[in-house]
């Protein structure tokens, strides 16, 4: 039996599958390779069951509302569905929110990952006694971020060997989770694989994040808030390319190893917003004329704002066969078109507590020091 079993009997437990990346993963995965997919999601502000309408009537997909920190629930799901692999997307994911209220990040990203690992460890130990092949084939794939490595200077890129130096409460909570995952492999032999990915973009992203926030604000002729000088650099990856990398890591990744995943598409925030504005100018011209670029507005910087992220994905390319298949131009075009075609989704998701207000400024005491460059 290969890693995580034969396709006819592979059963995935996907946590956080109603969020941005999880949705893309669930919608593009199960038909191809898996006998069953169980999605576990707490449906926080960022989770939206409507995202999964495409698999709602699929007999081989099951949605369960629940918390990864509920060990008994996770244990029951693993046993009942004879799960062969866990893919852990569930997290609090927004840096600005982690500045305002870090508690939820500690609870889900650290405690939640711990409980998930404990449930998986007990499940595999039980399997080992009854079905050694299935125990050997089990995989725990943990989805992490490049933010655990801190901030880069003007040159270089993060690799699997980069030292951990998280700068925000979000990044620190993800780093802690990564360390727990690593420890469960080294101490208990759990077959873990960790991926550290750069900034994703694409359909279904909650509009607190840069790209959808800019699209929706522009369409309402609202200012496009750029933090600080706008010269911070991110390495953009289309979400479907990330999901493909995760599937590759799941089947081809070596237990205990980590894989850095990125788009080889570095842009400053100002450059990226310029590209979005140009696409909107073409696809949905501004009423009254002029370019959406005129709405760009510099605002107070994010506290502790990391200057630059970039990933060298050579190892994932070499060992997993990972390739970026969507250029930034192609991916951005698809993304902007999706938001234009899905205005009701956007309206529904921002009709509750979140109204695209500025987040992440509620730091107590003196201004946070500027992030040290690596």
Nearest to 267 by CA among 332, 208, 315, 212: 332
Among 41, 146, 266, 312, binds ligand DAU (CB under 6 A): 146
Q: Minimum distance from CB of 291 to ligand NAD (Å)?
A: 27
Stretch that binds ligand DAU, among 139-147, 281-289, 335-343, 365-373 (CB under 6 A): 139-147
- For residue 57 the two structure tokens come to 């009537």
Instruction: Report the site for ligand NAD in 47-66 (rule: CB under 6 A).
Output: 47
Pairing of strands 85-88, 224-227: unpaired
Task: Check if the beta carbon of residue 257 is closer than 8 Å to that of residue 160.
Answer: yes
**Using rule CB under 6 A, residue 93 touches ligand DAU:** yes
Instruction: Report the site for ligand DAU in 292-331 (rule: CB under 6 A).
Output: 302, 309
Main-chain dihedrals φ then ψ at residue 133, nearest 5 degrees: -65, -45
Across the strands, what pairs with 311? 158
Instruction: Report the site for ligand NAD in 279-318 (rule: CB under 6 A).
Output: none
Residues that contact ligand DAU, how many (by CB under 6 A) = 19
Among 162, 199, 251, 335, binds ligand NAD (CB under 6 A): 199
| Residue found under tokens 């994703």 | 200
Residues that contact ligand NAD, how many (by CB under 6 A) = 30
Active-site residue set: 146-147, 170
**Using rule CB under 6 A, residue 234 touches ligand DAU:** yes
Measure the CA–CA gap between 161 and 265, rounded to whole angstroms.
21
Nearest to 198 by CA among 21, 2, 15: 21
E strands, 239-335, are 258-261, 266-268, 296-299
Among 15, 194, 232, 265, binds ligand DAU (CB under 6 A): 232
Work out what residue 173 binds among ligand DAU, ligand NAD, none; the CB cut-off runs from 5 to 8 Å by kind.
none
**Using rule CB under 6 A, residue 44 touches ligand NAD:** yes
Among 5, 112, 150, 360, binds ligand NAD (CB under 6 A): 112
Residue 109 or 127 with smaller CB distance to ligand NAD: 109
**Using rule CB under 6 A, residue 360 touches ligand NAD:** no
Instruction: Report the site for ligand DAU in 258-297 (rule: CB under 6 A).
Output: 269
Instruction: Report the site for ligand DAU in 150-209 (rule: CB under 6 A).
Output: 198-199, 209
**Using rule CB under 6 A, residue 226 touches ligand DAU:** yes
Q: How many CA atoms lie within 13 A of 65 on its CB side?
A: 6
Task: Check if the beta carbon of residue 364 is closer than 8 Å to that of residue 140.
Answer: no
Task: Reduce the DSSP state of residue 178 to 3 states and report it.
Answer: helix
DSSP 165: -
Q: Minimum distance from CB of 151 to ligand NAD (Å)?
A: 16
Across the strands, what pairs with 204? none
CA distance from start to end of the chain: 44
Task: Check if the beta carbon of residue 222 is closer than 8 Å to that of residue 214.
Answer: no
Task: Check if the beta carbon of residue 230 is closer than 8 Å to that of residue 298.
Answer: yes
Residue 20 or 149 with smaller CB distance to ligand NAD: 20
Stretch that binds ligand NAD, among 54-62, 88-96, 121-129, 276-284 (CB under 6 A): 88-96
147 to 151, 174, 325, 332: CA distances (angstroms): 8, 8, 23, 22
| Residue found under tokens 């360390």 | 179
**List of residues contacting ligand DAU (CB under 6 A):** 93-95, 145-147, 198-199, 209-210, 213, 225-227, 232, 234, 269, 302, 309
**List of residues contacting ligand NAD (CB under 6 A):** 15-16, 18-22, 40-44, 46-47, 67-69, 89-91, 93, 108, 112, 143, 145, 174, 197, 199-200, 206
């Amino acid at each position: 039996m290969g890693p995580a079993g034969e396709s006819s009997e592979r059963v995935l437990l996907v946590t956080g599958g109603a969020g941005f990346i999880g949705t893309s993963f669930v919608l593009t995965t199960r038909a191809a390779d898996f006998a069953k997919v169980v999605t576990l999601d707490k449906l926080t502000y960022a989770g939206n069951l409507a995202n999964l309408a495409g698999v709602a009537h699929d007999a081989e997909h099951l949605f369960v509302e629940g918390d990864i920190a509920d060990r008994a629930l996770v244990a029951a799901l693993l046993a009942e569905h004879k799960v062969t692999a866990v893919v852990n997307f569930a997290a609090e994911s927004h840096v600005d929110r982690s500045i305002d209220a870090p508690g939820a990040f500690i609870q889900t990203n650290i405690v939640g990952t711990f409980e998930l690992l404990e449930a998986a460890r007990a499940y595999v130990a039980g399997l080992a006694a009854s079905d050694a092949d299935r125990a050997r084939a089990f995989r725990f794939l943990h989805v992490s971020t490049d933010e655990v490595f801190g901030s880069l200077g003007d040159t270089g890129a993060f690799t699997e060997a980069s030292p951990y130096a998280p700068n925000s409460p979000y990044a620190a909570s993800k780093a802690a989770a990564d360390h727990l995952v690593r420890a469960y492999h080294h101490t208990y032999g759990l077959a873990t694989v960790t991926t550290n990915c750069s900034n994703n973009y694409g359909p279904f992203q909650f509009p607190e994040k840069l790209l959808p926030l800019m699209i929706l604000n522009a369409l309402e002729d609202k200012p496009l808030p750029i933090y600080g000088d706008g010269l911070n650099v991110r390495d953009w990856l289309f979400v479907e390319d990330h999901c493909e990398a995760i599937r590759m890591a799941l089947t081809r990744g070596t237990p205990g190893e980590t894989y850095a995943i990125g788009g080889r598409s570095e842009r400053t925030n100002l450059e990226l917003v310029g590209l979005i504005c140009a696409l909107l100018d073409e696809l949905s011209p501004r009423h009254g004329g002029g370019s959406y670029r005129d709405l760009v507005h510099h605002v107070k910087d994010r506290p502790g704002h990391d200057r630059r992220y970039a990933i060298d994905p050579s190892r994932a390319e070499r060992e997993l066969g990972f390739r970026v298949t969507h250029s930034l131009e192609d991916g951005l075009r698809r993304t902007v078109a999706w938001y234009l075609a899905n205005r009701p989704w956007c309206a529904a998701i921002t009709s509750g507590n979140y109204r695209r207000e500025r987040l992440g400024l509620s730091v107590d005491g003196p201004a946070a020091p500027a992030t040290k460059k690596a």
